[in-house]
Amino acid sequence: MISLQRIFALSLAGLILWNCESKTPPMEYMPDMADSPAREAQEADSNFPNNTSLRLPPVGAVPQGYFPYEYAGWTQSLDALPNKGLANPIKGDLATLQKGEIKYQTYCSPCHGVRGQGNGTVVGPAPRLNMAQSDGSPMAALTSATARAYSDGQIYHIITEGKGAMKSYASQVPSDDRWKIILYVRKLQEYDNRTAGK
């Protein structure tokens, strides 16, 4: 006579083999956790306080790899920035300068000019827009003595927060690329210094 254990073992083996070779989905016992209701993006969902399927991040959460700018909203003069702003963490090798040049030509040259002399295609000379800064002075030349006197941190602050007619470029230019632009501007200043009077 076949024992009860042997019948159970053969039944279990048969069930396992049947589930492995079956073309239909296997039977599920209590599938509530496995098959939760799917929600489309921005679909209404009354189970949550904001009545949407999108989950809100916890209060105070920041994106991975994001570091808030510590001088955001600084309204005092650039000379009052502690330690003249942040220090440039990027090394000035050839690849970095090339990337800085690309970003400069894309975002900065329309106003400041290809060589940083304040004569970009947007601002002048006449008969173009001939745009000046809000106080009536001509567009800032990045090769001027004033711009050369700025620290890297002060230029970074201007790109990040804006100054005068120039608005913030923080949303268009990532933080690392801002530092690369500054390195390229320093090369423009060196070039202008070498070629002055020629």
Identity of the residue numbered 143: T
pTM of the model: 0.66
C-alpha angle 90-144-153 in degrees, rounded to nearest 5: 30
Mean pLDDT of 163-171: 89
| pLDDT of 20 | 63
What is the rounded distance in angstroms from the CA atom of residue 114 to the CA atom of residue 21? 69
What is the rounded distance in angstroms from the CA atom of residue 181 to the CA atom of residue 152? 10
Q: Judge whether residue 37 has pLDDT over 80.
A: no
Q: Domain for residue 11, yes or no?
A: no
Number of domains the chain is built from: 1
Closest residue by Cα to residue 134 from 159, 100, 163, 91: 163
| pLDDT of 67 | 81
Q: Domain for residue 54, yes or no?
A: no
Residue range 96-150, pLDDT digits in tens: 999 999 999 999 999 888 999 888 888 765 545 555 555 555 667 899 898 999 9
Mean pLDDT of 43-69: 85
| pLDDT of 132 | 54
- CATH number of residue 113's parent domain: 1.10.760.10
DSSP annotation of 163: B
Q: Domain for residue 3, yes or no?
A: no
Q: Domain for residue 51, yes or no?
A: no
Contact 148, 189 (CB under 8 A): yes
Q: Judge whether residue 21 has pLDDT over 90.
A: no
Domain that includes residue 145, residue range: 92-197
Q: Domain for residue 162, yes or no?
A: yes
3-state secondary structure at position 15: helix
Q: Domain for residue 101, yes or no?
A: yes
| pLDDT of 26 | 66
Contact 71, 81 (CB under 8 A): yes
Residues 6 or more apart whose CB falls under 8 angstroms from that of 27 comprise: 19
Q: Domain for residue 33, yes or no?
A: no
Q: Domain for residue 172, yes or no?
A: yes
